[in-house]
Structure 1
Amino acid sequence: MADAQLSAAPCTPHVSPPAAPPAAPHPMANPGYGKRSAPYERPRSERDFAHLVPRDAAIAAFIDRLPDGSDISVKALAKALPYGQCAVRTTLNRLQEAGHLRRGSECVATEQVLLWVTRTFFSRTARDDAWWAAFAQGDVPREQQRPTRSRAFILLASLGRAAPTLTLSSADCVSLEPQVSEWFERGATEAELLHALTAGLPTPVHHAASLVRRRLRDKLPPERVVPVHRTVLRTLECSECRAPGTPEALLGGRCAPCRGTEPDTRFGPPGAVQAGHVRDRMSQVRAALVPRPERPSVRR
C-alpha cells in the first residue's frame, strides 16, 4: 500500500535551444562603389573556379554570389569569411593575376556633374589582359555560344504550347526558321513574335505551317535604328600602388615597377637620343668635328 501511494518524480520539461539568429546580410559599399560584375558572364557551374587553390576558389565563389554594389574590400571580406586580412589580400591579388578581378575607376554621369567613382570589377570567367583592355575602352565583344538549335527553331518548336492549333513538325520548323531569324535581326522579341503569330487565330486552322508563314511575311516589322554607341570613360589602376595606367602597362593588374620590371621610358622614333643622353651625344659630335684650318680645301 505504501508503494502504491508514492508519486513519480516530476519530469523537467524539454526546452528547445534558442534558434541561431539569421546571418546578417553582407554590407554594401557607398553608393556608386563596390563590386561590379563584368558583362557577358557564362552560366554558373561547378567547374567555375576549379583552376584555383581551395582558399582562392572559396573566396571567389563568395564574391561571385554577392550582388553588385557589395563591399568587397579586404576588411569587409575578412569579417564575413574565416580568413584574416592578409590571406584575403593575397587571394585578391591571385584572383587579379588569374583574370577574375580588376580595380579601377569609371566616370558616372548625373544630371548635374560627372563623377569618377572607384570600381572593383569581377568576372566569373577568367579573362586575359586583351579582354580587360577592351573592357576598359567599352568595346567588349559578346562571346558567341553555339547552341544545339537556333533561337528561331526553339521558338517555332514551342509554338504549340502557346497555341495548340499551331503545332509544327520538325520539317516545318526548319523551313520557317529563316523568316523568324529575320524578325530577330530586326530587333523583335519573342513576346512580339508570339503575339503576331497567335493573336486572332481563325477557327479551325487547316494548315498551321502555311498560316505561320503568311503571318511572318505580312507582319514583318521594319528595321529598327541601331542606338549610337555610348563612349565609356573608364580607367584601370595598379592593385598595389594604385597608380593609374593604360591596360597595356598593367599586365596582370600590376604596373611595371610593382612587377619588378623597369618601365620603358624611351620617347621618339627608333634611334632618337633620349633626354638624359643629349649632352653626351653633343660632346661626341663636337669631338668629331675637324678644325677649320685642317679641313681640306674644296675647289668651286
Structure 2
Amino acid sequence: MAAPGYGKQSAPEQLPRSASDFAHLPAREAYIASLIDHLPDGAAMDVKTLAALQPHYGQMACRTVLNNLSTAGHLRRVRERVGSPQCRWVFRTYFSRTPRSDAWWTRFIMSGEASTPGAPDPPKERTPTRASVTPADSAASPAYAALAGLGLADARLALSAADCAALEPLAAEWLARGATPALFTAALTAGLPPDGVHSPGAFTRRRLLDKMPPERPAPASAPVPAPAARVLECTDCRTPCRPQALLGGLCRSCRGTPKAPPPRPSLSPAAVRAYAARARAAMAAPPQS
C-alpha cells in the first residue's frame, strides 16, 4: 500500500467486471491493467511496485504499459492539494477499467468529483415503482408516523395509508426544518372546522403547505470547505500540464508530436520573374564543348 492519501484511486461509474474488460488492449497491457484493476484503493502502483508484483515484465516495460493505458483512457495521474488548511500535495493515479475520453477525465478531475481516498463509491439506489407505501414499509419514517398519529390526536384528521405515503415528503420537510412531532401535531390539528373535515387528505396537504415552518439558517460558525486544488500530470514525465495540453494523458514531448516545420521564405513577384528569366537563358544557351 502507498502512504495514506496516495496511490490508486478508482474512478466512479465503472461497468461491472467481465472477461472482456481489456480485450481491446495488447496482451501485455491487458495483463497489467487487470492487475491494477484488482488492487485496492490506496495501493501503490508505481513502475517499481508493478514490476515487483508480477514475474513477467520489468520496470521499463511497466512504464510503457502505464503510458499506453493512459492513451487508451484507463488512467490519469493527478497531484492534489489537501489538508486543513490546504498545505499538503498528494499524488494519485485514478484508474478506470472502463475507458474514458480526454473530455471525461478533464471534467471529472477538474470539477472536484474525485472521491476521498479509501471511500467506496456510493451504491446507486433503485427507485421503487409502487404508487404508494404501506404502513409496514414506512414504520421507521418519523414523518409517516407523525401523519398517522394525527388521527389519534383528532379523529377528523384520520388519514389513510395512501394519504400518509403521499404527504410524507411534506411532513419530512417540516421535521427537517426543526418541527418536533408534538409541534407538528398541534399545528395541524389546531382550529379544525367544528362540522368536520370533508377530505382529510386534501385538508392536511393544504395545511402542510400553508403552515410550513421557515428554513433553518445554517450555523454561522460552520466552516465552508474550500475546493481542493487539482493539477493533471503527464503520465510519463509527471510534468504538471493544462488539460488542453494532454492527449491521452501525455504531454507533447512524451507522445512524440513533431514540431511544425519553419515557414519557407516567400519570394516577391519580381524575384520569381528574374529567376525564371535566368533559367530560360541558361536553357537557350548553346552547350559548351
TM-score (norm: length of structure 1): 0.54
**Residues 238 and 244, structure 1, Cα contact 8 Å, conserved in 2:** yes
Q: Show the 5 A alignment for 1:194-273.
A: 194-197=141-144, 201=148, 207-221=160-174, 230-262=226-258
| Unpaired segments ≥5 residues, structure 1 | 1-27, 142-146, 167-190, 265-300
3-state SS, counterpart of residue 120 of structure 1: strand
3-state SS, counterpart of residue 211 of structure 1: helix
Count of matched residue pairs: 207
3-state SS, counterpart of residue 82 of structure 1: coil
Q: Show the 5 A alignment for 1:13-52.
A: 28-38=1-11, 40-46=12-18, 47-52=20-25
Could you tell me how far apart the structure 1 residues matched to 2:66 and 2:228 are? 26
**Residues 138 and 231, structure 1, Cα contact 8 Å, conserved in 2:** no
Deviations 1:36-77 (CA, angstroms, capped at 9, x unpaired): 222x32342314333323443332233223222111111212
- Residue 62 of structure 2 corresponds to which residue in structure 1? 88
Could you tell me how far apart the structure 2 residues matched to 1:218 and 1:239 are? 52
Could you tell me how far apart the structure 1 residues matched to 2:3 and 2:137 are? 52
3-state SS, counterpart of residue 244 of structure 1: coil
Of 77, 98, 102, 1:129 maps to: 102
| Unpaired segments ≥5 residues, structure 2 | 115-123, 153-157, 178-214, 261-289
- Provide runs of 4+ in structure 1 moved above 6 Å: 202-206, 223-229
- Residue 280 of structure 1 corresponds to which residue in structure 2? none
3-state SS, counterpart of residue 244 of structure 2: coil
**Residues 165 and 208, structure 1, Cα contact 8 Å, conserved in 2:** no
Could you tell me how far apart the structure 2 residues matched to 1:103 and 1:236 are? 6
Q: Show the 5 A alignment for 1:1-12.
A: none
Following superposition, the deviation at residue 101 of structure 1 comes to: 0.8
Letter in 2 for 1:53: P
Letter in 1 for 2:103: A
**Residues 81 and 229, structure 2, Cα contact 8 Å, conserved in 1:** yes
Could you tell me how far apart the structure 2 residues matched to 1:42 and 1:158 are? 33
- Residue 63 of structure 1 corresponds to which residue in structure 2? 36
Following superposition, the deviation at residue 121 of structure 1 comes to: 1.7
- Residue 179 of structure 1 corresponds to which residue in structure 2? none
**Residues 133 and 165, structure 2, Cα contact 8 Å, conserved in 1:** no
CA RMSD, aligned part only?
4.3
**Residues 143 and 172, structure 2, Cα contact 8 Å, conserved in 1:** yes
Q: In structure 2, do the counterparts of structure 1 residues 53 and 231 end up closer, same or farther at CA, with 3 Å as the change threshold?
A: same
Q: In structure 2, do the counterparts of structure 1 residues 258 and 64 end up closer, same or farther at CA, with 3 Å as the change threshold?
A: same
3-state SS, counterpart of residue 254 of structure 2: helix
Q: In structure 2, do the counterparts of structure 1 residues 158 and 98 end up closer, same or farther at CA, with 3 Å as the change threshold?
A: farther
Could you tell me how far apart the structure 2 residues matched to 1:37 and 1:60 are? 13
Following superposition, the deviation at residue 114 of structure 1 comes to: 0.7
Letter in 1 for 2:38: R
Q: In structure 2, do the counterparts of structure 1 residues 164 and 131 end up closer, same or farther at CA, with 3 Å as the change threshold?
A: closer
TM-score (norm: length of structure 2): 0.56
Could you tell me how far apart the structure 1 residues matched to 2:45 and 2:37 are? 11
Q: Show the 5 A alignment for 1:52-201.
A: 52-85=25-58, 86-110=60-84, 114-139=87-112, 151=127, 153-154=128-129, 156=130, 159-160=133-134, 163=136, 194-197=141-144, 201=148
Q: In structure 2, do the counterparts of structure 1 residues 165 and 89 end up closer, same or farther at CA, with 3 Å as the change threshold?
A: closer
- Residue 278 of structure 2 corresponds to which residue in structure 1? none
Q: In structure 2, do the counterparts of structure 1 residues 219 and 118 end up closer, same or farther at CA, with 3 Å as the change threshold?
A: closer
- Residue 270 of structure 2 corresponds to which residue in structure 1? none
Q: In structure 2, do the counterparts of structure 1 residues 211 and 238 end up closer, same or farther at CA, with 3 Å as the change threshold?
A: closer
**Residues 95 and 101, structure 1, Cα contact 8 Å, conserved in 2:** yes
Following superposition, the deviation at residue 125 of structure 1 comes to: 2.4
Following superposition, the deviation at residue 250 of structure 1 comes to: 1.2
Q: In structure 2, do the counterparts of structure 1 residues 218 and 121 end up closer, same or farther at CA, with 3 Å as the change threshold?
A: closer
- Percent identity, aligned pairs only, is 44
Q: In structure 2, do the counterparts of structure 1 residues 116 and 263 end up closer, same or farther at CA, with 3 Å as the change threshold?
A: farther
Letter in 1 for 2:56: Y
